Amino acid sequence: MMRFLPPAMLFLALFARVLAAVASTPTVAAPLNGQWKGPLKLLGGQINIVITIVPLTNGTYYAALDAPQQRISRMPVEVDLKGPDLKMRIEQAGSSFVGKVTDGGAKITGTWTQPGVKSPIILKRAASSTQPAPKYKVTPPYRESEVSFLNPSTRKRLGGTLTVPAGEGPFAAAVLLSDSGPQSRDVEVSGYRMFGQLADYLTRHGIAVLRFDDRGVGKSGGTYANATTADLVTDAQAALAYLRTRPLIASSRTGLLGHGEGANVALLTAAGTGQPPAFVVSLAGYGQSGYEVLMRQQGEIMRLIGADPGQVKAAQDAYERMVGIIRQTPDNAVARAKVAALLNDINAGLDASMARARAVQLTSQWSRYFFDFDPQAQLSKVQCPVLLLNGTADLQVSAKRNMTPLSRALHRAKRRVSTARLDGVNHLFQPPHTQWPMVNGVQQATFSPEALKKINTWVALTTKDPTTPAPPNGKQPAAAPTKVTKAAGVSRLRS
């Protein structure tokens, strides 16, 4: 997995939610919590890796791998901790770590193994950055407040941040919905606050924004691990209903903006009953079935780590067999035993406890739902305009394989849809590394400026208040330089 990869970001958020690691002893939460960094020595050089371990409210952990130099982000990690003995496995890349937590919880020391490489590694707890990313608590450009709202379906409260532009309003507004994996309201990845930056930009440009912690994260109650995509629709509905009640918000001009799985949650919400959102913005939403998406991701990862065609085929055959077992075996106990046996059969080096944990994850409610999830099934019921955006450097959600079928399905249903592909933008909607700004002499990850402008322009045009006077000479305001052109019922955004 950790060879020198091309400068493309590999973001496997689909598996992130099901690969939350279960620690056997809750008292070890404090030593493991945080980011762990260290150099991995390979033939011809070394790369720096970061493993983030986050405790969830239900006593489990969310763990993910980042390799910033290669723009690899949030690759899911399985963790097995017994006292100081620690095992970690990144199954999709065929990599593993065996070692110990040492120096009173300050270091993780052991051996990293991957195809063709076995190397000692020391991971040290990352100190707080001396140059943290901006937290976007800015005044007076807009008002910011801590809020919470109730999901009546789960009877759990969700905590978040509401930012409202300066002025009298009422303002158009958007609810932000995160990708797979338990995320905080800012969706932070290695110091890059994706939703923090997005909310800041939109609010500065006249659009109110509500972003909130996922279930079981931060100030939100509930349990995330088993929530399916359909379950998360109720969170989106609750957030939308709450936002419509807020002062200064134009309830008829309030919509949803989702990333990855969050985009599919937004589309499902727009296809549901009740008052629909005023708009949906899809950032790298899935257009293929869950089974197809996961199969493609597995092959992509293995090719990137240097696996030969025979190894890729063997892994995908095993994946197909596992999904077949799960689909044909509704009894979870039986399905888990069969899947664990298959995992041990195809990988003799796999620890038995890891195989059992993986089998539990693969048979979770979310996994069972997602294997058969068809993102196009409900598109004919969507009742609002839709903007589809994808980056050309997104290795997780290919624009051709995902945005194109979504666009075609919405077009066939005669829905109003706009599309744009963003050159060099990855799954986290970051532009090429060479375009990142310098902050105190250090390059900082940033949300694509082109994407921000397109989102703002489209939302502003879609939610334009009919009582607002037209600008002089019919010109668009400076904050909206992107125009929308329509052809055959499908509009494409062009700078």
> For 389-414, what is each residue's pLDDT tens digit?
999 988 788 898 999 999 999 999 89
Number of domains in the chain: 3
Long-range contact pairs involving 82-86 (C-beta distance under 8 Å, separation at least 24): 82/24, 82/25, 83/25, 83/28, 86/110
> What does the pLDDT read at residue 475?
45
Residue 135 lies in a domain: no
Q: What b/e sequence results for 182-221 when a residue is b if at least 16 CB atoms lie within 10 Å of its CB, and e otherwise?
A: bbbbbbebbbbbbbbbbbbbbbbbbbbbbbbbbbbbbbbb
pLDDT higher at 210 or 274: 210
**Residue 261 pLDDT level (bands cut at 50, 70, 90):** very high
Q: Indicate whether 98 and 220 sit together in one domain.
A: no
Q: Indicate whether 190 and 232 sit together in one domain.
A: yes
pLDDT higher at 59 or 320: 320
Q: Indicate whether 300 and 270 sit together in one domain.
A: no
Residue 4 lies in a domain: no
Q: Indicate whether 407 and 358 sit together in one domain.
A: no
- Sequential DSSP letters for 93-153: GTEEEEEEEEGGGTEEEEEEEETTEEEEEEEEEPPPPSSPPP----TTTEEEEEEEEEETT
Q: What is the mean pLDDT of the chain?
A: 81
Identify the domain boundary among 98, 125, 152. Answer: 125
**Residue 482 pLDDT level (bands cut at 50, 70, 90):** very low
* φ, ψ of residue 163 in degrees (nearest 5): -115, 130
At residue 493, does pLDDT exceed 60? Answer: no
Q: Indicate whether 215 and 255 sit together in one domain.
A: yes
Percentage with pLDDT > 90 across the chain = 45
Identify the domain boundary among 347, 371, 395. Answer: 371
Residue 194 lies in a domain: yes
Residue 172 lies in a domain: yes
Residue 1 lies in a domain: no
Residue 448 Ramachandran class (φ > 0 left, ψ -120 to 50 alpha, else beta): beta
> What does the pLDDT read at residue 58?
55
Residue 384 in contact with residue 276, Cβ under 8 Å? yes
> What does the pLDDT read at residue 362?
87
At residue 28, does pLDDT exceed 90? Answer: no
Q: Indicate whether 164 and 227 sit together in one domain.
A: yes
pLDDT higher at 475 or 281: 281
Identify the domain boundary among 309, 339, 371. Answer: 371
> What does the pLDDT read at residue 214?
95
> What does the pLDDT read at residue 209?
98
Task: Determine the Cα–Cα distance for residues 24 and 482; give it in Å rounded to an integer.
Answer: 53
At residue 137, does pLDDT exceed 50? Answer: no
* φ, ψ of residue 63 in degrees (nearest 5): -130, 140
> What does the pLDDT read at residue 352?
79
Host domain of residue 265? 142-288+375-467+478-494
Least confident of 113-122, 132-141, 181-190, 341-350: 132-141
Query: CATH number, domain at 32?
Result: 2.40.128.120
Mean pLDDT over 362-385 rounds to 92
Task: Determine the Cα–Cα distance for residues 411 and 76; give it in Å rounded to an integer.
Answer: 35
Angle, CA of 218, 220 and 222, to the nearest 5°:
120
Residue 472 lies in a domain: no
> For 147-196, what is each residue's pLDDT tens digit?
999 999 999 999 999 999 999 989 999 999 999 888 899 998 778 899 99
Residue 473 lies in a domain: no
Task: Determine the Cα–Cα distance for residues 382 and 276; give it in Å rounded to an integer.
Answer: 8
Residues 6+ apart with CB under 8 A from 355: 340, 343, 344
**Residue 6 pLDDT level (bands cut at 50, 70, 90):** very low
> For 59-76, what is each residue's pLDDT tens digit?
566 777 776 555 556 677
- Residue among 200, 216, 196, 263 at smallest CA distance from 236: 263
> What does the pLDDT read at residue 397?
87
Residue 3 lies in a domain: no
Question: How would you classify the pairing of strands 171-177 and 249-259?
Answer: parallel
Residue 11 in contact with residue 74, Cβ under 8 Å? yes
Q: Indicate whether 400 and 350 sit together in one domain.
A: no
